[in-house]
Amino acid sequence: MIIAVDGPVAAGKGTLARRIADKYGFKYLDTGALYRAVGLLLLQNNQDPNNPDLALLAAQNVSKIDPSNPALRDEKTGNAASIVAANQRVRTALLEYQREVAKHKPGAVLDGRDIGTVVCPDAPVKLFVTASAEVRAQRRFDELAAKGQEVTFDDVLSDLRDRDARDQTRKSAPLAKADDAHLLDTTKLDIEAALEAACQIIDADFPG
């Protein structure tokens, strides 16, 4: 059983996917963290994420980054992640690991941008989670402010729009809703309401 959860920046898909995995006893993989780890490795080495050869080398050495490193969640890491994510060789280097995790028994929940379209196109349940840009920016702003990071709402909104545009227009695995994915708009839903809506979809697609 595979549940694919895709969507744009700060749509709430990470929290939602983790809660779905807990509820059904499935393994959870945040695939964005892989791209963030590639971005962070480059930033730590003062290397340019736009350099395709260095980005590939970083993708091959992604295990050097501790998954609990808090810098993974920084905005500059997210922006570097979105740059390296446009590189097809980086995507290919990260693909096998994602597909291995997806085979986990009794099931796995993967969240990202291309899970339903490229990584697991045959996933029996696909969700495309979205929300308005303003609501997503407010959520990301609150998250960063809670961590004591000095950011302005306008900067967060502008970064989010840039990253959305980059993710949607890149040639390799652009962010897109799979034809058979269910759209879940969380603009007016808190996490509990989003979880309930997601579980209704999952249980209807996959009874028992």
Binding site for ligand CDP (CB under 6 A): 9-10, 14, 31-32, 35-36, 78, 81-82, 85, 112-114, 163, 167
**How is residue 71 annotated by DSSP?**
G
What distance in Å separates the CA atoms of residue 52 and residue 18, rounded to the nearest whole number? 32
Q: Which is nearer to ligand CDP, 33 or 195 (CB)?
A: 33
What distance in Å separates the CA atoms of residue 143 and residue 120, rounded to the nearest whole number? 29
Q: Which is nearer to ligand CDP, 36 or 204 (CB)?
A: 36
What distance in Å separates the CA atoms of residue 205 and residue 21, rounded to the nearest whole number? 16
* DSSP assignment string, 136-158: HHHHHHHHHHHTT----HHHHHH
What distance in Å separates the CA atoms of residue 38 and residue 62, rounded to the nearest whole number? 6
CB of 118 to ligand CDP, least distance (A): 8
Measured from the Cβ of residue 184, the count of other Cβ atoms closer than 10 Å reads 21
CB of 207 to ligand CDP, least distance (A): 28
What distance in Å separates the CA atoms of residue 128 and residue 12, rounded to the nearest whole number? 11
Q: Which is nearer to ligand CDP, 45 or 168 (CB)?
A: 168
CB of 143 to ligand CDP, least distance (A): 9
3-state secondary structure of 122: coil
CB of 161 to ligand CDP, least distance (A): 12
3-state secondary structure of 39: helix
Q: Which is nearer to ligand CDP, 92 or 200 (CB)?
A: 92
Q: Which is nearer to ligand CDP, 126 or 163 (CB)?
A: 163
Q: Are 45 and 51 in contact (CB under 8 A)?
A: no
**How is residue 12 annotated by DSSP?**
S
CB of 19 to ligand CDP, least distance (A): 15
Q: Which is nearer to ligand CDP, 8 or 25 (CB)?
A: 8
CB of 106 to ligand CDP, least distance (A): 23
